[in-house]
Amino acid sequence: MSFKKVTSLTMLWIMLVMTYTGIVLFIAPPGRVANWSNWYFLGLTKESSAQIHSTFMVLFIAMTLFHIFYNWKPLTSYMKNKTRQMVFFTKEMFVAIFLIILFIFGTLSYLPPFSSFLNFGESIKNSWEKEYGLAPYSHAELSSFKDFCRKLNFDLEKSKEILSSNNIIFIETQSLQQIAQNNKLSPQFIYNLLKKNFGVEGKIVQLSGLGKKSIEDVAISLNISTQEFISKLENLGIEAKKDDKFKLLSEKYNTSPMSILEKLGFREKK
């Protein structure tokens, strides 16, 4: 058996797996949505995709070192001139370094077409929120069932009856996430079940995580129209367009997204 062949074939599979997990992480919703709705894509949750991506990164580094070892002569030949002398800064090396610097600088500087690609990813991520909604407060899924009911003013005994009547096995000291996992449900499902039985209407607003969104997406999260949100911002002396990024807009006016929302009367639920 040739370990050199094993190395090359392993790298091929690593590339395929990391491409898949990379795509999943690129389009996956923010953690606050993924954890709340028990989101998964082709059998993988966001967390499991990230774990596989991380472990395969280690395997990729190991196999890359072996690949360099087995292909040292071909690699060094790329850095030789016509007289077969070793020259590190060849034309090809300059092109390779230029591409690396271009991608790093373009990404960090948020220049087109890198910004367009990143915005495309953000638009996909935000679209999941429109479909699944948000938790009533930050990391609600980590709260014990007892604390969850207390924070939302749900009667604990009645809440326990609702879960029991729907054949949901639970212990009130367990987190909402644990209960959901044990019953193969999502924390969101349990919340909607309670909300329906308690007759709670409307949408409880969660203010965290809105900075990266466009003005239009923030308005959707606040459950108001885009024009109404823009009008509210204008009353604060802030000129906005629906495609403006909320965080960048707030920085332009030397403030923060949370500060703006608080001035508009919105409060984060604790």
- pLDDT tens track for 147-205: 999 988 899 999 999 999 999 999 999 999 999 999 999 999 999 899 888 865 444 45
- Short-list 203, 214, 228, CA closest to 257: 214
Q: Is the pLDDT of residue 268 over 80?
A: no
Do residues 147 and 215 make contact, with C-beta atoms less than 8 angstroms apart?
A: no
Indicate the angle between helix axes 114-132 and 91-108, nearest 10 degrees.
Answer: 40
Lowest-pLDDT range of 31-45, 53-67, 211-225: 211-225
Domain positions in the chain are 3-131, 140-198, 215-263
Q: Which contacts of 9-16 are long-range, i.e. CB under 8 A and separated by 24 or more positions?
A: 10/59, 10/63, 11/60, 11/63, 11/64, 11/67, 14/56, 14/59, 14/60, 14/63
Which carries the bigger pLDDT value, residue 175 or residue 85? Answer: 175
- pTM above threshold 0.85: no
- For position 203, what pLDDT does the model report? 44
- For position 179, what pLDDT does the model report? 95
CA distance 97 to 74: 19
Quick: pLDDT tens for 219-249: 877 778 888 888 888 888 899 888 888 888 8
Q: Is the pLDDT of residue 16 over 80?
A: yes
CA distance 242 to 224: 13
CA angle 124, 129, 133 (to 5 degrees): 165
Q: How is residue 2 annotated by DSSP?
A: -
Most confidently modeled range among 13-27, 194-208, 247-261 = 13-27
- For position 207, what pLDDT does the model report? 60
Do residues 229 and 52 make contact, with C-beta atoms less than 8 angstroms apart?
A: no
Indicate the angle between helix axes 3-27 and 46-70, nearest 10 degrees.
Answer: 150
Q: How is residue 29 annotated by DSSP?
A: P
CA distance 225 to 69: 60
pLDDT-based confidence at residue 48 (cuts at 50, 70, 90): very high
